[in-house]
Amino acid sequence: MMGLLNAGSLILGLTAWILPIMNLILYKNHQNKNWIAFSIISLIACAVSLLFQIIYNHHLVKIEDWSALMDTTGAVVFVSAVLLVITLILNTISFIIYRGREQV
């Protein structure tokens, strides 16, 4: 059951990137009226994805699987940082673009 946390984290991480990309694609067509909802859901998906990784690490500590922790912690930290930074950049770009459109 705990292995599903990694799959869920991957799916939510991809969702966190896909939603702001959809915002940027739909901007050209002027069809996206709920862009702020997509951005909020994207940030929530990113947060839950990171939470899943924290829960999985906690599970490894509880079962005392120290070798798994030592093998994966570095990669988890790097991938989590990449997920967070790219999600924030994509949502910031989306916010700047849509904010500019509403002022015109």
Whether 104 shows a pLDDT value over 50: the answer reads: no
Predicted TM-score (pTM) of the model is: 0.90
pLDDT (average), residues 21-41? 86
Read off the amino acid at residue 7: A
Among 23, 6, 20, residue whose Cα is nearest residue 86 = 20
Which residue segment(s) compose the domain that 71 sits in? Answer: 3-103
The rounded mean pLDDT for the chain is: 92
pLDDT (average), residues 38-62? 97
Whether 32 shows a pLDDT value over 80: the answer reads: no
Provide the domain count of the chain. 1
CA angle at 45 for the pair 34 and 29, rounded to the nearest 5°: 30
- pLDDT winner (highest mean) among 19-28, 30-39, 86-95: 86-95
Read off the amino acid at residue 92: T
Least confident of 24-38, 65-79, 84-98: 24-38
Whether 102 shows a pLDDT value over 70: the answer reads: no
